């Protein structure tokens, strides 16, 4: 970075060798640091040059230098070289800072544009870009299910190991390469069957029309959607032979995730809940809570990114982050723990665990209904694709029914 021969420790050491009475005050060490500087070490170079000028000024005031005109001349020339290098490095640093700022602004603009495009796609129920598969099997599946409810027909891909199922939906035909994403979600290296088809609304029911025999498949897809999205979907399958398979809940009148208020009765704690219903409710809560916490974390990052450079908004930002953190703390695992206790408890001990589970459920129902963040988070202006409160409320409904 600095090429002047005067600004080298070897030149100064030659001067010291020729003037035995002259003492080094640290200038040799400072000049040696110049040799270690890289081309982009502008800040360090400015610091070293300032130190060199300070040490040279000290030496010029010494009696030894006053008695040795040749040394004084060398130090004067060294001062000029250091000042010249200081100006050059300052200009180089200003140019580098300008370029870095331009690149940062360009990157920020690109990220903002991408967020806006992703939000627009999500609001229309479209898939994310091919190079961004995150959320395709979870958060980005929710708006697609909404599009089906509105009457749109989507492409569907179902992967099954026999016991476990994973579902993907898309407005466009699903590429075979996407099968790896489903296989990874299943955690299986082999033995996976893939069923292609469409997902549409028929006779008020979400229907998977698949190119396979569908006997017993509706309940598995229903449970898969519950685990992937936290939503309970009234569902049936139709096979290529024309046969249909219902999820078995069509008669219960509570299939819609948005229908019916949340009610959790505290009476009848000794009634025997369905282990299957409790297991499904527990899986649904696990998925809905994980999704909610991930999205709340994403909201925090969006807030921090959008208001980072707004000095006047820092107080408002801090208060907003505190409110989000309060919501996150409230959404602990107490409900999941109490549900596990109910499921695993002997019959004679189940009543106490049921009461604890209903208490935890009531607390979360109040949170979902009254929390300031959850009241306004779905489809908010900073992240129009964000959907947290609706899946939470739907899952709490399912748990309330399972505990009744």
The tens digit of pLDDT for each residue in 42-98 reads 888 889 889 989 998 999 898 888 888 998 999 999 999 989 988 988 888 888 888
Q: What is the pLDDT of residue 170?
A: 93
Q: How far apart are CA 143 and CA 135, in angstroms?
A: 11
Q: What is the pLDDT of residue 265?
A: 43
Average pLDDT over every residue of 305-324: 72
Taking each continuous run of H as one helix and of E as one strand, the counts in the chain are 14, 6
Of 77, 89, 78, nearest in space to 31 by CA: 78
- Lowest mean pLDDT across 93-102, 124-133, 209-218, 240-249: 124-133
Enumerate the H helices of 175-258 as residue ranges.
Answer: 179-186, 217-229
> What 3-state DSSP class applies to 194?
strand
More confident residue, 311 or 357: 357
By the 8 A CB rule, do 85 and 51 touch? no
Whether residue 262 is predicted with pLDDT greater than 90 in this model: the reply is: no
| Position 130 confidence tier, pLDDT thresholds 50, 70, 90 | very low
Q: How far apart are CA 45 and CA 33, in angstroms?
A: 9
Average pLDDT over every residue of 373-393: 80
Whether residue 131 is predicted with pLDDT greater than 70 in this model: the reply is: no
* 27-35 vs 9-18: helix crossing angle, rounded to 10: 150
pLDDT tens profile 170-186:
999 999 999 999 998 88
Of 262, 399, 295, nearest in space to 343 by CA: 399
Q: Which of 4-18, 96-110, 123-137, 253-267 has the highest mean pLDDT?
A: 4-18
**How far does CA 198 lie from the centroid of its chain?**
30
Whether residue 144 is predicted with pLDDT greater than 50 in this model: the reply is: yes
By the 8 A CB rule, do 339 and 357 touch? yes
Average pLDDT over every residue of 191-219: 92
List CB contacts of 337: < 8 A, sequence separation 6 or more: none
Burial environment of residue 235 by CB neighbours within 10 A (0 to 12, 13 to 18, 19 or more):
buried
């Amino acid at each position: 970075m600095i090429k002047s021969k005067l600004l080298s420790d070897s030149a100064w050491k030659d001067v010291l060798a020729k003037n035995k009475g002259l003492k080094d005050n640290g200038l040799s060490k400072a000049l040696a640091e110049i040799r270690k500087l890289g081309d982009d070490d502008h800040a360090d170079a400015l610091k070293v040059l300032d130190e060199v000028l300070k040490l040279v000024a000290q030496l010029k005031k010494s009696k030894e230098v006053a008695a040795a005109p040749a040394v004084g001349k060398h130090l004067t020339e060294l001062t000029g070289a250091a000042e010249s290098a200081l100006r050059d490095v300052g200009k180089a640093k200003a140019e580098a800072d300008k370029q870095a700022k331009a690149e940062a602004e360009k990157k920020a603009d690109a990220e903002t544009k991408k967020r806006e495009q992703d939000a627009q796609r999500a609001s229309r129920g479209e898939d994310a870009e091919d190079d961004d598969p995150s959320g395709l099997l979870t958060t980005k599946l929710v708006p697609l299910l909404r599009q089906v409810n509105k009457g749109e027909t989507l492409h569907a891909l179902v992967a099954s190991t026999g016991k476990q199922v994973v579902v993907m939906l898309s407005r466009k035909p699903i590429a075979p390469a996407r099968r790896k994403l489903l296989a990874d979600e299943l955690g299986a290296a082999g033995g996976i069957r893939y069923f292609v088809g469409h997902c549409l609304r028929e006779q008020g029911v979400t229907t998977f029309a698949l190119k396979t025999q569908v006997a017993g498949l509706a309940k598995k897809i229903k449970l898969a959607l519950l685990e992937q999205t936290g939503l309970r979907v009234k569902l049936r399958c139709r096979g290529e032979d024309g046969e249909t398979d219902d999820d078995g809940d069509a008669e219960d009148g509570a299939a819609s995730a948005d229908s019916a208020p949340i009610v959790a009765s505290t009476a009848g704690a000794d009634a025997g809940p369905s282990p299957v219903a409790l297991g499904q409710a527990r899986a649904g809560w696990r998925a809905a809570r994980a999704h909610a916490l991930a999205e709340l974390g994403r909201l925090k990052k969006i807030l921090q990114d959008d208001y980072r450079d707004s000095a006047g908004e820092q107080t408002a930002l801090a208060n907003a982050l505190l409110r989000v953190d309060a919501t996150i703390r409230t959404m602990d695992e107490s409900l999941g723990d109490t549900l596990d206790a109910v499921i695993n408890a002997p019959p004679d001990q189940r009543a106490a665990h049921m009461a604890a589970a209903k208490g935890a459920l009531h607390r979360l129902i109040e949170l979902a209904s009254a929390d300031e963040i959850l009241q306004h988070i779905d489809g908010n202006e900073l992240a129009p694709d964000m959907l947290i409160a609706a899946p939470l409320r739907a899952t709490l409904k399912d748990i309330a029914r399972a505990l009744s």
